[in-house]
Structure formats: C-alpha cells, structure tokens
Amino acid sequence: MQLIDHPNRYGSVIRTFHRGMAVLFLAQYTSATARALLPRGNEIRDALWRYHTDLGVTLFMLVMLRSAWSLVNLVLSR
C-alpha cells in the first residue's frame, strides 16, 4: 500500500480523502434535498437538517487536509 501519489496511481491517503468526501457530499446533498422536498415538521427532514452545518464544516476541513497532503506529495515526489 503506497501512501504517496505516483504518476500512474493515487496514493491511499488521497483515495481515502476522496471517498470520505464523496460520502459526506452525498449526505450533505441528502439533507438539503430532504429540507426542500419534505413538509415542515417532518421528523426525518428536521433530523437530517440538524447535521447539515456539521457536514459542511467537516467537508471544508477535509478539503483543507487534502490540499495540504497534495502539497506534501509535491515535495515528496521530487
């Protein structure tokens, strides 16, 4: 298992970030869609919306960490 990226394959760290972000984007989209489509007072709508901000902050942190890891890869691959 390679941690850093190579020209022909991404490393396991970037792939883990990518997959985690995909799952969180799906959850973020689901919470926004539920808020738009379900009626007010619906328990599912309210439960999903409670996590919307937390998901957004987590996604932002993952974007920052993924960017930092990409910079590390640039240095390590030279």
- Where do the domains of the chain lie? 12-76
Tens of pLDDT, residues 24-75 = 999 999 999 999 999 999 999 999 899 999 999 999 999 999 999 999 988 8
Model pLDDT, residue 20: 94
Model pLDDT, residue 39: 94
Tens of pLDDT, residues 12-25 = 999 999 999 999 99
Residue 50 in tokens: 């409670």
Q: What is the pTM of this model?
A: 0.81
How many Å is the maximal CA-CA distance in the chain? 56
Distances (CA, A) of 41 to 31, 32, 55: 15, 15, 22
